[in-house]
């Protein structure tokens, strides 16, 4: 299986409530997902909304 090349990335720091971070990490672990991918997908949905 070929992997698709990812676009250039930037690394930023953002603040979120501790409880939100912990809940997101727990869910990502349960679903065997990477938290960075989860955040990217959420941002992509956010910018696509009218």
pLDDT classification of 49: cutoffs 50, 70, 90: confident
Helix axes 18-30, 35-48, angle to 10 degrees: 110
C-alpha distance from residue 9 to each of 5, 36, 37 (Å): 11, 11, 12
Distance CA 26, CA 8 (A): 28
| Domain assignment present for 38 | yes
Q: Is 4 a residue whose pLDDT tops 80?
A: no
pLDDT at 1: 62
| Domain assignment present for 7 | no
Domain of residue 42: give its range.
Answer: 18-48
Q: What is the pTM of this model?
A: 0.73
Question: Phi and psi of 10, rounded to 5°?
Answer: -120, 150
pLDDT at 25: 96
pLDDT tens digits along 15-42? 999 999 999 999 999 999 999 999 999 9
Number of domains forming the structure of the chain = 1
| Domain assignment present for 4 | no
Q: Is 50 a residue whose pLDDT tops 90?
A: no
């Amino acid at each position: 299986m070929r992997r698709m090349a990812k676009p250039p990335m930037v690394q930023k720091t953002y603040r979120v409530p501790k409880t939100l971070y912990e809940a997101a990490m727990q869910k990502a672990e349960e679903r065997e997902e990477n938290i960075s991918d989860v955040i990217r997908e959420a941002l992509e949905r956010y910018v696509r909304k009218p």
